[in-house]
A and B are shown apart, each in its own frame.
Chain A
Amino acid sequence: MNGINKNKNKYTLTRKEERAIIRENRKMMRHFEKLKKRKNVSESEYLTQMRDPNNLVEFDDLHTYFYTDIGTVKAVDGVSFEIPKGSTVGVVGESGCGKSVTSLSLMQLVQAPQGQVVKGSIRFNAGDKCYDIVKMPTEAMRKIRGKDISMIFQEPMTSLNPVFTIGSQIDEVILLHLEGYTKKQAKEKSIEMLKRVGIARPEAVYDSYPHELSGGMRQRVMIAIALACEPKLIIADEPTTALDVTIQAQILDLLREIKHKTNSSIMLITHDLGVVAEMADYVVVMYAGRIIEKGTVNDIFLDPKHPYTIGLMKSKPVVNKVVDRLYSIPGQVPNPINMPNYCYFRDRCDRRFDKCAGDYPPLYKISDTHYAACYLCDKSKEAQ
């Protein structure tokens, strides 16, 4: 893709290589931006079939790359998993492992023009039809954003526009997506939404500005905005990371309650294993842009297979257990540019063996729901 590998010292680039990268990047970015900016694309181009009609979203071999000046970062590199209807899927992993980029790919909100979905598909079940979001032009995607899929962001402090009132920001999404609402009805609905997310004085909050509210209140407002159009899927991108622990519990309770009431699915992105254990039905563990293990919550928490997942489980504090020092996985995530061909976790792994020098391991099936990308799980070979 670019001349990095030819260079003896891989941390420095010659001017020539740099220029080649920039030229290549520009070409790719322009190509993908053009695809997204197409107008009047017929729906048939992005209509598709779900593999399982009970699934709401199916990620299939998703690749999202960032074209940076020092090379292409494969932020998401071949991710496949599904979100069944009415369930909560937790996506876990450390910072920079591609969890957020996966969710932003689903919303088509990856930082453009550097970030682009280059391969794979994201099938979204919109009820009577199903769309491939990767192929959708932005124009068509706008009708899904906020209405069928909505998103709660990590930073409630900066995610609301500081110059508009809370009310106008909720009204906006109602007036945009729900038909037949007058301004007055939208206001009533907004106040009702504020009440539903547990805000005590909804009428007063409706007229206030974001800076007049606390972090927890703002996150509630964000949730109210996300829920206003009764979406099929709520993406919660680390919804509690910026909040203190008591507020965290309240927000999680609120999300769970809402899920039960509206029967929507939640894609919960977090690095907090406690949150996942409490909220999720299925868990996807990501590492350096790939899924290394996925399964039900019991599979992952009670019977983790991948050494990384095992390490994660060991590194969380447990009540009633005295430990001298909390376990931490040694080493670091490899440089996202120039990923090695072998298992990305090999250099940090305490259970590596000869086979790990080979190609990146595929996902091995452990049970119907449980998969892990590790040669340790390769039962077929062991049996032979």
Chain B
Amino acid sequence: MFKYIMKRLLLGLLILFGVSIIIYFLVRNMPADYIDTQTAAQVSQGKLTREQVENMKALYGIGDNSFTGILKNYFTWLGNLLKGDLGISFVYGRPVADVINQYMWISFGISFTALIFEVIIAIPLGIYAATNQYGVADYTVTVLAMMGISLPSFFLSALLLRVFSLKLGWFPLLGLRDATQMLSGFPAFLDMLHHLVLPMTTLVLLSVGGLMRYTRTNMLEVLNSDYIRTARAKGLSEKTVIYKHAFRNTLIPLVTLLGGTIPSLFGGAMITESVYALEGIGYTAYKAVLQADVPFVMGYNMFIAVLTVLGILISDLLYMVVDPRVKLR
């Protein structure tokens, strides 16, 4: 077991190394350049010479855009990383790790709460739809789920904002806190929750459909299997058949799926956060990409990559817990 985990972690390191090379080259080949965008005005006014700009680029470590140049910069970045230094964000002017740490938790809070709601809503609905297959309830739930899956997040967000924020005025439009009042302690927390209702609704509505369909499909498959017939032949009540014998088997694919959502918990919801102007990690990363903030984009992507590797490992371990047939070695 311990050996297996160690093996997987070492393999993970190898994967992360590959991932970091690819991302670094991609980021460096983006058409945007931080120094160019920052200095464009001064250059056109003649306050800065091309030479000074090139010097600044070299100073920032993004001067040489040839292959060997990028490779050299990459190994500098990697060397710093191994020392535990993710570099300093161009845009925020602070260590990347600090910036991630600052914005991550709000994203995590939103995503985690949304995930809990998603699970609470989707799994019982999926089971209900499966046990009443082709019934009115099944069709209703399925149609709603398909709508949820098909709606783009920016569209749903805009719709919710228009109806509940602009027309009805029930919820604030943007941000995390009310700028007109100075609040602290518990009232501030309540105010934040008030701001988070719409973003959270968006996230839940969008994700519930997929999980519900997944639960329904798996449940149906399990309900048609021979051992469910055996359970019924034993004289067990329908409740025991569904919630003990069938659900325990449906849990196997569900756990694997949920284990894979770990990176998205911390990674933030880029589009939703952007629409609602929430200072989450997704929104922050989005702004950083626009300005070609190389250290931050690298740091953020590596953070997601690490979480993905861990998420897959965790879901494999959970798989072993819920399915006695699986042995990891």
Closest residue of chain B to A211 (Cβ to Cβ) is B325
A155 — which chain B residues lie within 8 A by C-beta? Answer: 226
Once A209-B324, A211-B324, A211-B325 are accepted as A-B contacts, the answer to whether A162 and B236 lie under 8 Å apart by CB is no
- A163 and B322 CA atoms in complex are apart in Å by 8
A172 — which chain B residues lie within 8 A by C-beta? Answer: 234, 236
Count of B residues near A, CB < 8 Å? Answer: 21
User: Is A143's CB within 8 Å of the partner chain B?
Assistant: yes
A109 — which chain B residues lie within 8 A by C-beta? Answer: 229, 232-233
Within 8 A of B (CB), among A141-183: 142-147, 150-151, 153, 155, 158-164, 172-173, 176-177
Closest residue of chain A to B222 (Cβ to Cβ) is A161
Once A164-B248, A209-B324, A209-B325 are accepted as A-B contacts, the answer to whether A159 and B235 lie under 8 Å apart by CB is no
- A174 and B278 CA atoms in complex are apart in Å by 58
User: Is B180's CB within 8 Å of the partner chain A?
Assistant: no
User: Is A312's CB within 8 Å of the partner chain B?
Assistant: no
User: Is B231's CB within 8 Å of the partner chain A?
Assistant: yes
Chain B interface, >50% SS class: helix
B325 touches A145 (CB 8 A): no
Count of A residues near B, CB < 8 Å? Answer: 28
User: Is B44's CB within 8 Å of the partner chain A?
Assistant: no
From A109, A146, A177, name the one whose CB has the most chain B CB atoms within 10 angstroms.
A146
User: Is B249's CB within 8 Å of the partner chain A?
Assistant: yes
B226 touches A158 (CB 8 A): yes
Within 8 A of A (CB), among B46-85: none
B245 — which chain A residues lie within 8 A by C-beta? Answer: 161, 164
Pick 6 A–B contacts, CB within 8 A, sort by A: A150-B233, A153-B226, A163-B252, A163-B324, A172-B236, A173-B235
B230 — which chain A residues lie within 8 A by C-beta? Answer: 153, 159-161, 222, 225
Q: What 1/0 flags go to A339-361 for Cβ under 8 Å of B?
A: 00000000000000000000000
A-contacting residues of B (Cβ < 8 Å)?
225-227, 229-238, 245, 248-249, 252, 322-325
- A146 and B235 CA atoms in complex are apart in Å by 5
- A209 and B237 CA atoms in complex are apart in Å by 23
B234 touches A161 (CB 8 A): no
Closest residue of chain B to A163 (Cβ to Cβ) is B248
Contact pick for B227, options A143, A146, A160, CB 8 Å:
A160
Would you list the 9 A-B pairs with minimal beta carbon distance, nearest first? A146-B235, A145-B235, A146-B234, A158-B226, A161-B227, A209-B324, A151-B233, A159-B226, A173-B234
B232 — which chain A residues lie within 8 A by C-beta? Answer: 109, 145
- A142 and B234 CA atoms in complex are apart in Å by 8
- A160 and B225 CA atoms in complex are apart in Å by 10
A211 — which chain B residues lie within 8 A by C-beta? Answer: 324-325
- A162 and B248 CA atoms in complex are apart in Å by 10
Q: What 1/0 flags go to A168-212 for Cβ under 8 Å of B?
A: 000011001100000000000000000000000000000001010
